[in-house]
Chains A and B, each alone.
Chain A
Amino acid sequence: MEPKAIDLFVERSMAALTAEPGWTTDTARALQRYQAVAAARRRRRVWVVCGAAAACVFVLAFPGTRVFAERCVAACVAETVAVGQRLGVTAVPAFTLTDASGQTVRLADFRGKVVLLNFWATWCPPCKTEIPWFVEFQSKYEAAGLVVLGISMDEEGWAAVRPFMEKNPVNYRMMAGNDAVAREFGGVASLPSTFLIDRSGRVVWSHSGIADRAELDGRLRAMLTDGSRR
């Protein structure tokens, strides 16, 4: 078929397409319908916003629901971090704290070192079990490039940590932590929590609860050897 003929055929076909005979549109009634639907949708949006605001107020107003919400958020963040670690796209965490002597400690200061970061508290028995291991790791692997850092999550801060450290001195740097630092590491859902940070500042391993000493030792040796080869 010639292009002109196709053109004519389609034109005729489309011309056959007509609206229902005798149909007349009612613009005034349609405008009323438009205004009613628009108003109903506006009201629905207002209700949705109010509902969301009320839910937020409800969640934040009661300690129980607030703690639950915080745990949910922490779990989501931790899961995101874990997925990121598996995919190798973990964000590099950062913090600035002060140690027992009042000196500023930045995680960025240890770039080039392997960092074992331990969140703990004086009231946590498994944390106290791990501390002698970390003392041992610090002395054994310091020359190979290991830095152990302890962050206490005691709410009383140094008031609780200082007496503990006088009784149980450690050979690594200890800091008083806060929620902002914990958030940098996915919320720290339980204590103790331990993180291994490679020489480029990336979290490469984390563990909630008491760690396996032999496993931790093996991971440290692997990371330190890997680093020395580079």
Chain B
Amino acid sequence: MDVESLFAEQYERVARLIGRVIRDPGRAEELAVEVFLKYARSSLPSGSNVEGWLFRTAARMALDELRAQARRRRYEPLLRLAGKVATPEEIHNGFQEQARVRAVLGAISLREAELLVLRSEGVSYEELASALTLNPASVGTLLSRAQQAFRKEYVKRYGTESY
């Protein structure tokens, strides 16, 4: 399938996956385009799971961006001293839970975060195994470990679970 057809078919899903993770729609669309540019440069062997590759790359790029944002946020106290306004999370309590989830995803290991993001996109165990080059038999165990790591990090940061 040529890149243009693939773009028409998968762009929206790729962009929304990234948008869920990083929230900024403009940046999500930029990164989604970058995913397809990466695909055009890649030399995937014929018969590869292209969709899985796109989702994995999108999840990886979104999580990398999330971590970069977290690093930048470390300097925010200094910016606030310089008169920066509060973040939308601080103004709108409705976004608080999303901000927490993003912070936790940015803190746990990349592979675990990838598993959780892709699984929450409805990617099946078989597709996860193919996209992340995992043994299909171990996907369940790895996913369970990722969930435990998520919960542990969440409790460590915020004390209690909101649910």
A residues bordering B, Cβ < 8 Å? 1, 3, 6-20, 23, 25-27, 30-31, 33-34, 37-38, 41
Contact = CB atoms under 8 A, between A and B. Distances in A.
Given A10-B150, A30-B11, 10 more contacts: A6-B151, A9-B151, A13-B101, A17-B102, A20-B24, A23-B19, A23-B25, A34-B33, A34-B36, A38-B40
B22 to A, nearest CB: 9
A16 B33 contact: no
Nearest to B144: A3
A30 B98 contact: no
Main secondary structure of the interface of A (DSSP, over half): helix
A104 B43 CA distance: 51
B121 to A, nearest CB: 9
B34 to A, nearest CB: 8
A31 B9 CA distance: 11
Nearest to A7: B147
Nearest to A23: B25
Given A13-B150, A14-B116, A25-B29, A19 B23 contact: yes
A15 B120 contact: yes
B67 interface: no
Q: How large is the interface on B (under 10, 10 to 19, 20 to 34, 35 or more residues)?
A: 35 or more
In the A-B complex, list the 8 residue pairs whose CB atoms are closest, starting with the nearest. Answer: A14-B120, A19-B19, A10-B147, A23-B25, A16-B97, A25-B15, A25-B12, A20-B25
Main secondary structure of the interface of B (DSSP, over half): helix
B134 interface: no
Nearest to B40: A38
B69 to A, nearest CB: 14
Contact of A38 (B25, B37, B98, B151): B37
A8 B142 CA distance: 16
11 contacts: A3-B144, A9-B151, A13-B150, A13-B154, A13-B163, A17-B120, A18-B98, A19-B16, A20-B24, A25-B29, A38-B37
B124 to A, nearest CB: 15
Nearest to A37: B37
B32 interface: yes
Contacts of A10: 116, 147, 150-151
B8 interface: yes
A38 B35 CA distance: 12
Contacts of B151: 1, 6, 9-10
B28 interface: yes
Nearest to A29: B29
